[in-house]
Amino acid sequence: MSRPLELILARQWAALLSTPVMLFDLEGSLIFFNEAAGLLLGRKYDETGSMVGPEWQAAFPMEDEAGRVIGATDSPVANALRTGSPVMRTVTVRAMDGVRRKATVTVFPVHGLERTRQGAVCLVHPA
Amino acid sequence: MSRGWNTDGKGLSVTLFGTRGSLPAPGPDTTRFGGNTSCVMVKNSAGQALILDAGSGIRIAGMRLPKDVKRVDLLLTHLHMDHIQGLGFFAPLYTPGLDVHLWGPPSTTRTLRSRLNRYLSPPLFPVRIRELPSRVHCHDVTQGQWEIGDFKVSSSLVAHPDPTLGYRLESEGRVVTYLPDHEPQLGCRTGLPTTEWLSGHKLAEGADLLIHDAQYTEDEYLARVGWGHCTPTLAVRFAELVRARRLLFFHHDPSRSDAEVQRICAEATRTHKQGMLVTEPAAEMDEIKV
């Protein structure tokens, strides 16, 4: 399998950033996260590899500001991929090292050269 | 010079009309590998031909086409000057009524025809596309597969500044992959990524002949990261990863003499440890049987 160039370049860019970045494909699978995001999520990408939607939602559930777990179809990633528009939301992540971390996530869909949607990039700002 | 592998009378013939990158480099130091910029013709045993890129080498390529040709297909990887500068001197464009199909990438806001018009119009060129006597058909392509005669053509965006395509041509059971401008190592701190994340991988996988960018030496590359080109050594790594059978080092730097091309490509070849890959520098007017 080969990824579209837009996602290949996004990964290479993310790998050089100290800003936490997660990368999702069109199906909502988490296909990469950089080292800074690994600190926030409690594990390194090298340890987890790619995770399909149900896997990452179980590995590090996100809660809304009232403490309720955000459902798969209501997640910022799902919304951005469904609507094609950026989504920004403050969440609490139950990280894979057992620590709860509050963060603001900004998810923007990646539209390719022919305006076809290729996936989404999630920037994470520790709150 | 004509040489190659196909002994069954079938297969593809690949003629290199331009192997140089960036700028034509004629002169006594470049007579072996050539001074014309990118242009390659791939022909099958039925005589159907596809032309790749319109560097200065396309002038000779156009003269080599049969006089009674009914249709010409030219596949452009991208619109940097060294890949289109010969277009205005491509003889088939001046043949009344001849169907000339141009395939290449649009930008996010302009069609291929509109982008080409920026070059084929005053003040850069006296004749506009619409004024040509041939029938020019422009096809916007990015990633996909289609057929041209007996050829199956696949294209995909590859790592190079501005929208840039690589091509995979399949016919008669043979595969030729053309990645003349390619920086698959961009952003990788060590070597090349795994194939899942490797630009151009799907196009080049298992190719019988891989024509790949090898413009810079290792030292030159360090000062030109992001300019969209590769080194001969990384081209060997890429060919190994995609399991190509034969690698042509292509897009020689215009400053490089024949002796230097020979030397840096030989050094890169020595880094190949598995012994399965055949490598050589692309030389203008060579015809390779695949």
Q: Of B163, B186, B202, which has the smallest distance from its Cβ to A12's Cβ?
A: B186
Contact B201 A113 (CB under 8 A): no
Contacting A residues, span 82-121, partner chain B, CB-CB under 8 Å: 112-115
The percentage of chain B sitting over the pLDDT mark of 70, rounded to a whole number, equals 97
Q: Using one digit for the tens of pLDDT, what is the confidence trace for B11-62?
A: 999 999 999 999 999 999 999 999 999 999 999 999 999 999 999 999 999 9
SS3 of B173, please? coil
d(C-alpha B287, C-alpha A122), whole Å: 49
CA of A2 vs chain B CAs: smallest distance (Å): 5
d(C-alpha B30, C-alpha B73), whole Å: 29
Residue B194 near chain A (CB below 8 Å):
no
**Which pLDDT score is estimated for B3?**
55
The percentage of chain B sitting over the pLDDT mark of 90, rounded to a whole number, equals 88
**Which pLDDT score is estimated for B204?**
98
d(C-alpha B143, C-alpha A4), whole Å: 9
Dihedrals phi, psi of B58, to nearest 5 degrees? -70, -20
Alpha helix ranges (H) inside chain B:
58-64, 81-84, 112-119, 201-204, 218-222, 232-242, 258-270
Q: What is the mean pLDDT of residues B251-260?
A: 98
**Which pLDDT score is estimated for B6?**
54
Q: Using one digit for the tens of pLDDT, what is the confidence trace for A84-110?
A: 999 999 999 999 999 999 999 999 999
CA of B190 vs chain A CAs: smallest distance (Å): 12
Q: Of A3, A4, A113, which has the smallest distance from its Cβ to B108's Cβ?
A: A113
Of B189, B149, B201, B203, which Cα lies nearest the Cα of B172?
Answer: B149
Q: Using one digit for the tens of pLDDT, what is the confidence trace for B123-171?
A: 999 999 999 999 999 999 998 999 999 999 999 999 999 999 999 999 9
Q: Of B157, B187, B195, which has the smallest distance from its Cβ to A15's Cβ?
A: B187
pTM recorded for the entire structure: 0.90
Contact B197 A6 (CB under 8 A): no
Q: What is the dihedral of CA B137, B78, B197, B217, to 10 degrees?
A: 150
Residue of A nearest to B195 (CA): A2
Residue B143 near chain A (CB below 8 Å):
yes
Q: What's the complex ipTM? A: 0.75
At residue B275, does pLDDT exceed 80? no
Contact B187 A16 (CB under 8 A): yes
Of B241, B203, B234, which Cα lies nearest the Cα of B52?
Answer: B203
SS3 of B129, please? helix
